[in-house]
Chains A and B, each alone.
Chain A
């Protein structure tokens, strides 16, 4: 039994407990502690569980402020023009919507659509293919990727944070370290601490489902919810639980995006990974610079046949504000996404299904009205701070 299954069973136990306490059904039920924003450490908006903080990286207000500053600093790129926030823009729900794939230095493009930082704190792995185990580790990679921030190594970052008077002061205050004692460990810990404050719930759905506000969602959105958990088969991966909704199962699925275009090349592409084990940094560069290799998805990391063409289930929170969609940004609207699923994992009806399609994906036979309702439901997942 693997770790994921243990997690699921534990969740199952919680669900049983919740059933004894009273099941929220949208017409009145459990009231979770609500909070409008994420300013207060440990405060959790409606619909979200508490954030887990690593034992070696506790949250402090000063560390969060330092992390935010690092996150916004464009000096950590070879051109001095690209920061974390270039692709994860707070004004765009921490994405670079409406770009299909992200633009780094010199407008070089990668292969993948920028996932939001919002609620990334809850993800068990980072990046679309889960190649990074934590927010701290994740922050190491974009600065040295040739199509993102383009540095040869991390030294230019360290040079700045060890000498810039404001940073010197802040690192001293937060970590009690200065000079060579300040390393990428401290830099990434601060960034991760900031990212763990970017959590967002309290959407109309949360107020309806967890808050018991019967009119928080429209009748069409409520119809969409019922389709979401039944005929649409959405909830099996975009998980809603009795006391929280992260809209992800933290697993990887081949849903027929990207992979469909390279079907005949899979044997050749896959064999390269099966023959030699690449280092983490090689994989990072390869998947973001070679479009065809990128489409192997999780397989490039795990080398499990079961993972060919599979990508991490993203959250759906604020999804109406983060177009375009899918790991490659290939679908422009939520309606196109729904049609892709309705066709059983192919974008154009009648196109061949890829051999490695997840066995959870199959034609849904939803009609236009039902697809509209599902799209309306996803529009009810926008948190108030991103509603404008």
Chain B
């Protein structure tokens, strides 16, 4: 135990001094130290075809860079999650081009379905490339689950739109009155219930989804309509973490036993909806705003993350290009995820209030 603490302190000291993404894992305090591990998480690349073999340069560069950097991690992560929205409009060309870039990863990759991957052909081509839409697996004592959380009402999906292309475009819009809220859906919830029935209550559970399995802002689908039902299935477990993409920014929250952590996009950032509305709202409060981005650097305000799993909790190390890296970890004292540097009010990054 002493050795563990020592190496961790040295590790943190080194990380602070260098300001670097920590690349040298140390023993953390899982019940069995052989069960400590890391994985990388890349998300929301929105690969977009312009015409033929011409794709949006900026989005390509984000995914290429995340893949290249992930391949340098030492020691190697156990696997890589891609968090959804690999494509922009669900086209084969976009999914193929994105899959080709992901194929350069030197690790096993598991994919999450995003709405931009789904609503053209309802995930058919995506499935040929990446497999089932939802699934679970066990790894070093942790039960992992990947959900397809971007489904919606059957009527909207199957009966409302004259073409698949229009259905895709309607779901891609923000603040779109023709849109429809995301959901996990009854069929998948039944599967989840059955899947969880085999899992002991003290087994750490980590869920990957594209949308947050919590309700933040409906207009942008920072929302899952049946979040309450899904959460109810997860609450009986002692240690649960939901890691989601879609929001293109750093968010974290705790609801009962469930920690929520978002991941960054490699394509572009979204603001927090409250800051966009510029008016009083009842959104969950964002405590640590993201650092101001320099628009000269197309990658500023995007990034990817290395995730440590220890004591069954996740620590997300955000690699933020052209900006200051951040780390969000579960704080056992406050029993919620917190930014390890900026959480205290006097350490926070002041939000931009002038232009």
Give A contacts to B, CB under 8 Å.
1-2, 5, 233, 236, 266-267, 270-271, 274-275, 277, 302-306, 308, 353, 355-360, 362-363
Contacts and interface: CB of A to CB of B under 8 A. Distances in A.
B296 A306 contact: no
B72 interface: yes
B343 interface: no
B19 A360 contact: no
Contact of A2 (B19, B68, B69): B19
Chain B contact-residue range equals: 20 to 34
Contacts of A305: 20-21, 69, 72, 319
B20 A275 contact: no
Q: Which 5 A-B pairs have the closest CB atoms?
A: A359-B299, A355-B68, A359-B298, A236-B296, A274-B74
Given A236-B296, A355-B65, A359-B300, A304 B20 contact: yes
Contacts of A1: 291, 324, 349
Contacts of A356: 65, 68-69
Contacts, number: 72
A72 to B, nearest CB: 38
A360 B323 CA distance: 13
19 contacts: A2-B19, A2-B324, A5-B291, A233-B296, A236-B296, A266-B72, A267-B72, A271-B72, A271-B74, A274-B72, A274-B74, A277-B14, A302-B18, A302-B20, A303-B20, A304-B19, A306-B319, A359-B300, A362-B58
A169 B149 CA distance: 80
Nearest to B299: A359
- The winner among A233, A304, A305 for most chain B CB atoms within 10 A is A305
B64 interface: yes
Given A1-B324, A306-B322, A362-B57, A355 B297 contact: no
A304 B324 contact: no
B322 A359 contact: yes
B291 A303 contact: no
Contacts of A359: 58, 61, 65, 297-300, 321-322
B60 to A, nearest CB: 9
Interface in B42-97: 57-58, 61, 64-65, 67-69, 71-72, 74
B61 A303 contact: no
A267 B299 CA distance: 22
A356 B322 CA distance: 12
